[in-house]
Structure 1
Amino acid sequence: MDRGRMELYNLTLPVGEKHHTLAFLGFLAGDGAPAQAIELQARYISRLITGKVAPPTQKAIKHNLETIKNFSIVRKGKFTYKVPLLKLCDLIACEIGVYPWFWRVFLRDPVLAFMVWYGPIFTAQYRLLGPDSDWDRARAACYRAYDVISANGSQRDKVKVKRDDVTVARRRQVLLFTCGISAMFALGYLGKSRNLHGAIAQWY
């Protein structure tokens, strides 16, 4: 600690340690429940210990600390170890290869892609892609969690009016149709402006 600043890579590894045999899990605070960040910290440490990810270089450590510092300053106006947890989660997820890339999720489930990107954050979202992923179970968990939050977030005394054209199934159909049309126009534009196969390859 230096003048209140804790030099921790991903808020996990103490800076300056040669062999990275000491790690802190959950030593953080932010703008929401820390469970997602703590799980990703644990996954990062387990992969580091088993050699599945390389130890961070000095350049990576410096960039990581600066990034986390900026997260904190933007949110609080001064440096603290309180950071936007979504930013920290995504930072770690990118490093261990489990970041839920929008287009990769979209190509398998367009509705889920929008839920992941514009809805609440769940630990299951970081089990959709990459190492130790389980698409089917993670997808089901995301839908279940989203439904629970949507139900509990509504006003209990609100009068519910059912309309045949605003069912969940219909909303999904409309969303899929809209996304399909948008994708067709996008592919048409890319096909004219550049090599189509090269453009699709960039999505992966």
Structure 2
Amino acid sequence: MSFTANTALIPIDVQRGFDYPPWGRRGNPAMEHNGQRLLAAWRQRGWPLIHVRHDSVQPGSPLSPSHPGNAFRDGFDPLDGETVVAKSVNAAFIGTDLDLRLRRLGVDRVVLFGISTDMCVSTTARMASNLGYRTVVVGDACYCFDLIDADGSTIPAEQISRAHLATLRAEFAEVTDTDALLASIDES
């Protein structure tokens, strides 16, 4: 893996609203630390960085623009001059100008992380791949939540994340961790 200034970092939905109901137990407590390391690396190099924020249109959602949960988590606020793309569905490419922005920047590879592995990160990764971007998902800079299956059993967040990352790796994206990605950047 070698990285250049044609690689954009896209943090997805790193918002406070995921600390409110109805979300359940989350996995990966290291997500914030790893995500902040990625942000620092991109900012240090001046490489393209586009923040994605979920602006829910569902009544009462903690991700609604009128709810305090719509705000970015501490340490993930965009800096002056950094772009924010607002979406209202899982995929960051639907109903937004993300693809146009990336193409205008000459981006050919995207690096994704955020919340949640199995929903918005996965959906965005699949679309990025289908749109022709070389796609990288940083698995230890994502997390998801426990889910209830059709039988009423709880599937732990860690199992959900593992399965989704494996699916992405099989077809849509290179899956890596923060240490490996940052080491690759330093070698580039």
Specify which structure has the higher proportion of strand.
2
Per the TM superposition, whether the score is higher than 0.5 is no
Higher Rg of the two aligned structures? 1
Higher RCO (C-alpha 8 Å, min separation 6): 2
Specify which structure has the higher proportion of helix.
1
Q: TM-score, normalised by structure 1?
A: 0.27
